[in-house]
Amino acid sequence: MNPRRLNNNSMASNEYRIDLNSPNNIEDIETVQEDLVNQIQQTNRPNINNDHLHQLINLLKDNLTSTFPFILILILKAFYEHSAGILMVIFFSASIYHANTVLVDQAALKSSRQLCPVIRVILILIISLVSFLYLFREDKFYLCLIFSRPSYTNWNLSTLLWVLYSTFCIVKMMIMILKGLLILYPLSSDKGKYCLTFRKRGSYFSLLEYSSQFYISLLTIRPWISFLLYNNNQGNILFSSFLLLFYATIKFYNLYKSTVELRQSINKSFQNLPFPPVPINELRENMCPICQSEYQDPIILTCKHIFCEECVSSWLDRNASCPLCRSKLPIGQANYRDAFTSGYLIWY
């Protein structure tokens, strides 16, 4: 028997036959052992990284399990000391999320919106705002909204984060109250005297959102200055000044960019649809493909498809193409026209 008989086929089927009568059987056994070891090493090689990963995960798991009770103690202590603040953060986040969902849904319903959910959302937001300003009246938190410094003495990192997050939430809530009122305001399909077209309302939503983002990015300046200047117990004014200069440079650049973006977005948002109206008596069909009823103020797109202005406006708020043939249309896309409020935290 040839000692090197372990060809690929026999390796694959894991069959090893040793001729016990052969004088070379010890040599055979050694060769088989050697081949088996090689085979095991080869099959194990791709898993080396996985094994390390598993070891690391197990190590982390063990560490976390043993340290978890102590982390819990820290969390409980922090929660006890800052319970009002933490509860407020949770309550703010939940009510902003809920309000956002309701407002976007009701804004999309146009004239068939329900007044009750919108009024309820507005009331919840007003109660949240008033209770916040009342709970933290000693801190004079309202000063944050007029570029002034609330009466915190210790400007450590947690104070900074707390001020930034609360300011963000308060401004978002105020903007959502205004958006809610705008949803309640009569639309042109309500046939009122001082009503608003759907497209104009979208532009106001967009304007409110962009201006609130710009306002928040301005409001973050004062807390950052306080943090960089008043957090320094050792009084190393040189280092503080260096950090302040660094912050001012980046912030100035950011503000310049935001201003340009704000101007562009407002222009896009208030541009009229560049499509001409069609006299109703010139129409071959009298049913709008979107609302499936008679045309109201029809306009003709560049692709020659005709829709009611209000129907196609709600589509064009999200897409720059024809809803029927999907051909591209010459309009700039503006966001936030659907009453959506961005939850993206502006913290610098």
Is residue 280 part of the contact set for Zn ion (CB under 5 A)?
A: no
118: exposed, middle or buried (C-beta count within 10 Å: 0-12, 13-18, 19+)? buried
Q: How far apart are CA 338 and CA 234, in angstroms?
A: 50
Does 300 contact Zn ion by CB under 5 A?
A: no
Least CB distance to Zn ion at residue 283 (A): 12
- At its nearest, how many Å lie between Zn ion and the CB of residue 302? 8
Stretch that binds Zn ion, among 25-33, 147-155, 277-285, 325-333 (CB under 5 A): 325-333
Does 171 contact Zn ion by CB under 5 A? no
29 binds Zn ion (CB under 5 A): no
Q: Whose CA is closest to 132, among 104, 182, 97, 172?
A: 172
- Are 228 and 243 a contacting pair, CB within 8 Å? yes
Pick the stretch among 99-107, 173-181, 254-262, 299-307 that binds Zn ion (CB under 5 A).
Answer: 299-307
The burial of 183, by beta-carbon neighbours within 10 Å (0-12 exposed, 13-18 middle, 19 or more buried), is given as: buried
- Of the candidates 344, 48, 39, the residue with the CA atom closest to the CA atom of residue 217: 344
| Stretch (H or E) spanning 264 | helix 237-270
Q: At 279, which amino acid appears?
A: P
Residue 324 in the binding site for Zn ion (CB under 5 A): yes
**Residue 251 to residue 348: CA distance in whole angstroms:** 8
CA-closest candidate to residue 132, choices 149, 144, 120: 144
| Residue with Cβ nearer Zn ion (110 or 172) | 110
Is 143 an interacting residue with respect to Zn ion (CB under 5 A)? Answer: no
> Residue 123, interface with Zn ion (CB under 5 A)?
no
Whether the CB-CB separation of 160 and 223 falls below 8 Å is answered with yes
Task: Single out the segment in contact with Zn ion by CB under 5 A; choices: 242-250, 255-263, 271-279, 280-288.
Answer: 280-288
Q: How many CB atoms lie within 10 A of CB 228?
A: 21
Q: Which is nearer to Zn ion, 102 or 316 (CB)?
A: 316
Q: Is 316 in the site for Zn ion (CB under 5 A)?
A: no
Rule CB under 5 A: say whether 320 interacts with Zn ion.
Answer: no
From 76, 291, 320, 345, residue interacting with Zn ion (rule: CB under 5 A): 291
Question: Is residue 322 near Zn ion by the rule CB under 5 A?
Answer: yes
* Residue 312 is a binding residue for Zn ion (CB under 5 A): no
Rg (CA), the chain: 33
Query: Judged by CB under 5 A, does residue 287 bind Zn ion?
Result: no
Q: How far is the CB of 285 from Zn ion (least distance, A)?
A: 12
Of 11, 89, 133, 290, the residue at the interface with Zn ion (CB under 5 A) is 290
Q: Could you give the CA distance from residue 196 to residue 95 in angstroms, rounded to a whole number?
A: 28
- Please report the beta strands in 179-332, taking only residues with DSSP state E, as ranges in sequence order: 298-300, 306-308
Per rule CB under 5 A, is residue 187 in the interface with Zn ion?
no
Q: 306 forms bridges with which residues in the sheet?
A: 300
Q: What H or E segment, with its residue span, contains residue 28?
A: helix 25-44
Taking CB under 5 A as the criterion, the residue among 144, 288, 299, 339 binding Zn ion is 288
Straight-line distance from the first to the last Cα atom of the chain, in angstroms, rounded to the nearest whole number:
78
Alpha-carbon gap, residue 55 to 213, rounded angstroms = 46
In angstroms, what is the minimal distance from the CB of 294 to Zn ion?
8
Amino acid at 239: F
Please, what is the minimum distance in Å from the beta carbon of residue 270 to Zn ion? 23
- Options 102, 107, 144, 308; binder of Zn ion; rule CB under 5 A: 308
What is the size of the binding site for Zn ion (CB under 5 A)? 10
Position among 56, 60, 127, 303 found at the interface with Zn ion (CB under 5 A): 303
Q: Which is nearer to Zn ion, 45 or 191 (CB)?
A: 191
Q: Which stretch binds Zn ion (CB under 5 A): 47-55, 134-142, 195-203, 311-319?
A: 311-319
**Least distance in Å: CB of 319 to Zn ion?**
12
Taking each helix axis as running N to C, give the angle between helix 221-230 and helix 237-270, from 0 to 180 degrees, rounded to the nearest 10.
170
Q: Which residues bind Zn ion (CB under 5 A)?
A: 288, 290-291, 303, 305, 308, 311, 322, 324-325
